[in-house]
């Protein structure tokens, strides 16, 4: 699937010709799956916060009621020590495990159809076409579900802070972190969108010091961490809304993201039509709902209304 | 690893419960080692969970407490919400054992003091938790600590009538 050394038209021509043989189809499907896997890893924010683990059917459990699969994950059970007198003894505890279930679901792209003639008209590689309309759609669903479950968690824990601040700064971030710190957890990752990240870079030298202010003015904020926490910035403003900053603990205290088997890529050629689609079976969710917090800032719309913001 | 399970909705993603919160329905602080755990058949349609109380009837079947407390009321150690209970048709009671127990399954409309005697009865909604025992009612235990959202009580090895 790599087009190194070839111009886009030649690459696309070879790609289509290869689909005319069974062996070529198989090789293309395998290469397509590898390509999609690599690209999904690069672009989704959910995977950067909660890295996925591959599982097989043997790792999962089925239901008596339907033909779907879940994976059951253990939660650390309660325990505590006690200061007691020499002649006394600590409390007893009958250990009872807690678990949560992650149901698997399928994320599938649309089935794309294109004539080989029209594919030849593209002046950029067909891999780019696949990336644009398969990879991005799939990882978008992963990110949407990730935020949907995060919203469900904070609706129970109440870790949603509404602030009158109009831009994100260190004070707002520490207010966010405290909601997780209070539960004896540590924030591992901060998630914000590019609009808020732009605001973060506007902090004056009196706030962040001259050297950093000068550096940010020239090169932007280029560090992978913010206040010692991993920084993830997304351009998906319709999933992570402007003004919404999320904090998550490290994956070990957060939840799980499983991929059953692997991402599948299917392609075939029917006469002059090339058809392809991509799908995967995943399960993602948070076992520790206390490990997520969100602050909502009162940011103005980044798009001017009648010329003003 | 594979098997067949039913799924608890609240513990299925999106999880609707704080799973890190200490489960306080039944925490036995003293007496675990020597307590008597006895399985009894559960009456048709009856459900009781760990930390609640069940009444043993003349037919040998368990039911939830009625409006009038009776001496044959026992603490449930393993309730009907478990797979093994479903398979055996039984749940596990603690019988003839004096214990110290911490629980959040009690009548929270009442205020408690150390020494208050406790019983279990239907207060109109089919309750099977603990509440204050009135004079002349069978008492199952007495309060030894009143905490925030929980009580610690001493479970009697046998019920007696509160004076």
- Look at residues B81, B82, B83, B43 and name the one whose alpha carbon lies nearest to residue B64: B43
At residue B1 the predicted structure's pLDDT band, cuts being 50, 70 and 90, is very low
Q: Which residues of B114-152 are buried (b: 16+ CB within 10 A; e: fewer)?
A: eebbbbbbeeeeebbbbbbbeeebbbbbbbbeeeeebbb
- CA atoms A122, A127, A132, A134: torsion sign: positive
Comparing CB atoms, the residue among A61, A100, A290 nearest residue B2 is A61
pLDDT at B7 over 60: no
Report the candidate in B21, B50, B2, A260 with the shortest Cα–Cα distance to residue B10. B21
Q: What is the distance between the alpha carbons of residues A241 and A62, in angstroms, rounded to a whole number?
A: 36
Q: Which residue does chain A place closest to B31, by CA atoms?
A: A92
Report pLDDT for A162.
96
pTM of the model: 0.83
Quick one: pLDDT at residue A5? 55
> What pLDDT was estimated at residue A65?
80
Looking only at Cα atoms, what is the longest distance across chain A? 88
Which range of residues forms the domain containing residue A251?
8-75+97-296
Q: How far apart are CA A304 and CA B12, in angstroms?
A: 43
pLDDT tens by residue, B39-82: 999 999 999 999 999 999 999 999 999 999 999 999 999 999 88
Structure tokens at A283: 């399960």
The answer to whether A172 and A163 are in contact (CB under 8 A) is: yes
Q: Which of A57, A58, A79, A98 best tests the B interface by mutation, with the highest count of B CBs <10 A? A: A98
Domain count, chain A: 1
User: Would you kindly state where each structural domain of chain B is located, as residue ranges?
Assistant: 24-161
Does residue A190 fall inside a structural domain? Answer: yes
Residue A242 lies in a domain: yes
Q: Is residue A303 part of a domain?
A: no
Angstrom distance (rounded) from CA A256 to CA B16: 16
Q: Number of C-alpha atoms within 13 angstroms, CB side, residue A261?
A: 11
Please state, in angstroms and rounded to a whole number, the distance separating the CA atoms of residues B50 and B26.
6
Alpha-carbon gap, residue A23 to A27, rounded angstroms: 6
d(CA A174, CA A183): 15
Alpha-helical regions (H) of A44-169 = 46-49, 116-120, 126-130, 136-157
Does the beta-carbon distance from A91 to B20 stay under 8 Å?
no
Q: What are phi and psi of A281, to 5 degrees?
A: -110, 120
From B110's Cα to the closest Cα of chain A, the distance in A is 27
The CATH number of residue A145's host domain is: 3.90.1690
B3 interaction partners in chain A (CB closer than 8 Å): 61
Residue A131: per-residue pLDDT:
67
3-class DSSP assignment, residue B122: coil
CA dihedral A215→A217→A220→A226, nearest 10 degrees, is 70
pLDDT above 50: residue B2: no
> Chain A to chain B, count of Cβ pairs less than 8 Å apart?
97
The terminus-to-terminus CA distance of chain A in angstroms comes to 45
Name which of B3, B27, B29 is nearest A61 (Cβ-Cβ): B3
Q: What is the pLDDT along chain A (309 residues), one digit of tens a residue?
A: 554 555 667 777 777 777 777 887 777 777 777 766 666 655 789 999 999 999 999 999 988 888 899 999 998 877 888 899 898 899 998 988 889 999 999 999 888 888 888 888 877 777 677 766 777 788 899 999 999 999 999 999 999 999 999 999 889 999 999 999 999 999 999 999 999 999 998 888 888 888 888 888 888 888 899 999 999 999 899 999 999 999 999 999 999 999 998 788 888 888 889 888 889 999 999 999 999 999 999 998 888 877 776
* Structural domain includes residue A145: yes
CB contact under 8 A, A156 and B16: yes
């Amino acid at each position: 699937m790599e087009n190194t050394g070839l111009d886009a038209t030649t690459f696309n021509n070879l790609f289509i010709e290869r689909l005319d043989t069974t062996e070529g189809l198989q090789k293309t499907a395998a290469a397509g799956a590898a390509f999609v896997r690599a690209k999904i890893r690069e672009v989704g924010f959910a995977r950067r916060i909660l890295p996925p683990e591959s599982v097989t059917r043997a790792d999962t459990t089925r239901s008596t009621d339907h033909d779907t699969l879940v994976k059951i994950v253990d939660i650390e059970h309660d325990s505590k020590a006690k200061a007691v007198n020499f002649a006394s003894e600590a409390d007893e505890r009958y250990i009872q495990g807690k678990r949560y279930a992650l149901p698997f679901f399928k994320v599938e792209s649309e089935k794309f159809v294109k004539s080989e003639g029209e594919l030849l008209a593209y002046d950029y590689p067909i891999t780019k076409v696949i990336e644009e309309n398969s990879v991005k759609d799939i990882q978008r669903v992963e990110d949407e579900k990730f935020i949907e479950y995060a919203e469900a968690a904070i609706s129970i824990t109440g870790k949603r802070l509404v602030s009158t601040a109009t831009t994100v700064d260190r004070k707002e971030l520490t207010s966010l972190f405290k909601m997780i710190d209070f539960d004896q957890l540590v924030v591992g990752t901060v998630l914000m969108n590019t609009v808020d990240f732009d605001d973060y870079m506007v902090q004056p030298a009196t706030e962040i010091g001259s050297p950093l202010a000068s550096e940010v003015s020239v090169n932007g904020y280029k560090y992978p961490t913010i206040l010692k926490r991993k920084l993830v910035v997304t351009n998906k403003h319709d999933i992570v809304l402007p003004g919404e900053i999320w904090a998550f603990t490290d994956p070990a205290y957060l939840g799980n993201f499983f991929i059953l088997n692997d991402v599948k890529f299917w392609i075939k050629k029917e006469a002059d039509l090339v058809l392809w689609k991509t799908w995967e079976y995943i399960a993602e969710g948070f076992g520790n709902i206390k490990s997520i917090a969100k602050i909502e800032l009162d940011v103005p719309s980044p798009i001017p209304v009648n010329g003003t913001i | 690893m594979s098997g067949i399970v039913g799924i608890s909705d609240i513990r299925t993603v999106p999880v609707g419960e704080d799973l890190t919160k200490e489960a306080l329905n039944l925490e036995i602080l003293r007496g675990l080692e020597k307590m008597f755990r006895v399985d009894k058949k559960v009456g048709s349609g009856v459900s009781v969970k760990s930390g609640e109380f069940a009444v043993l009837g003349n037919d040998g079947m368990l039911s939830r407490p009625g409006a009038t407390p009776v001496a044959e009321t026992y603490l449930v150690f393993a309730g009907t919400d478990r797979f093994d209970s479903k398979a055996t048709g039984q749940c596990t009671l603690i019988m003839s054992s004096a214990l110290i127990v911490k629980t959040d399954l009690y009548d929270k409309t009442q205020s408690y003091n150390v020494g208050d005697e406790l019983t279990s009865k239907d207060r109109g909604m089919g309750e099977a938790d603990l509440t204050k025992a009135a004079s002349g009612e069978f008492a199952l235990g007495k309060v030894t600590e009143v905490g925030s959202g929980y009580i610690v009580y001493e479970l009697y090895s046998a019920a007696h009538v509160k004076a």
